[in-house]
Amino acid sequence: MQLLPPALENLIEALGALPGVGSRTAERYAYFLLKRDPSKSHQLAEALNGLHAGIKLCPKTFALIAEDQDVSPLYVDPKRNKQLVAVVAEPLDIVALEKTASFDGTYHVLGGLVSPIDGVGPEQLHITELLQRIDEDKVVEIILATNASVEGESTALYIQQQIGNRPVKVTRLARGLPIGVDLEYADQITLSRALEGRQTL
């Protein structure tokens, strides 16, 4: 016997497919949408329908751009330094760095991290295009801004090896202990980086 109308069950199933959303959370979201003004659900549906049609990847930086743009606005902005490139794993990492208002270079999105367990090899990332940019834009410094995870570290090391003898400075984002975190709760990679990057007081 079916306990819920098919329309509601379909929505619960669709929401449950999202990362971090379990069956109970999916049920709560679906019921919340059902109780709200139908126009809000239509607004959400329209946003979802236009998601793929309204977004594409920048052919130079692989950042997300609007369908009517040719290249990332951050790349063509004359105030940005094209010879300074921050290499990130995913497009949303750009948002995090931009919020600091401390970086005036450009970005290069890899489209993931090297992860043999997940079947992601270097050839599936935008590393070849990064090397082309280094040569074409006469890049002076590459900042490897990948996560401090095993995948992030191995990806950074692979890129460093591929850069080879090119006359470019390769740096890594500083790693350390976040404010308010006790030593006992810090992971080994974070602690190792904090020790390596210790400063004189």
User: If phi over 0 gives left and psi between -120 and 50 gives alpha, with beta otherwise, what is residue 36?
Assistant: beta
- pLDDT, tens digit (0-9, with 9 covering 90-100), for 62-82: 999 999 999 999 999 999 999
Residue 152 sits at the vertex; the CA angle it makes with 148 and 155, to the nearest 5 degrees, is: 150
Q: Quick one: pLDDT at residue 191?
A: 74
Question: Closest Cα partner for 13 from 26, 32, 31?
Answer: 26
CA distance 57 to 109: 10
Contact 113, 120 (CB under 8 A): yes
CA distance 198 to 68: 46
Q: Quick one: pLDDT at residue 200?
A: 62
134: Cβ contacts below 8 Å, ≥ 6 apart: 85, 142, 163, 166, 168
> What is the overall mean pLDDT for the chain?
89
111-117 mean pLDDT = 91
Report CA-CA distances (Å) from 142 to 7, 20, 164, 201. 50, 33, 13, 28
CA distance 94 to 108: 9
Strand bridging mode 141-144 / 105-109 = unpaired
Contact 15, 29 (CB under 8 A): yes
pLDDT over 60 (residue 201): no
Strand bridging mode 64-66 / 55-57 = antiparallel
CATH class of 6-49: mainly alpha
CA distance 133 to 184: 42
Whether the domain at 6-49 and the domain at 72-172 fall into the same CATH topology = no
Domain locations in the chain as residue ranges: 6-49, 72-172
173-201 mean pLDDT = 69
28-47 mean pLDDT = 92
CA distance 143 to 84: 8
- pLDDT, tens digit (0-9, with 9 covering 90-100), for 130-182: 999 999 999 999 999 998 788 988 999 999 999 999 999 999 887 766 766 66
CATH class of 72-172: alpha beta
By CB atoms closer than 10 A (0-12, 13-18, 19+), residue 144 is buried
pTM, two decimals, is 0.81
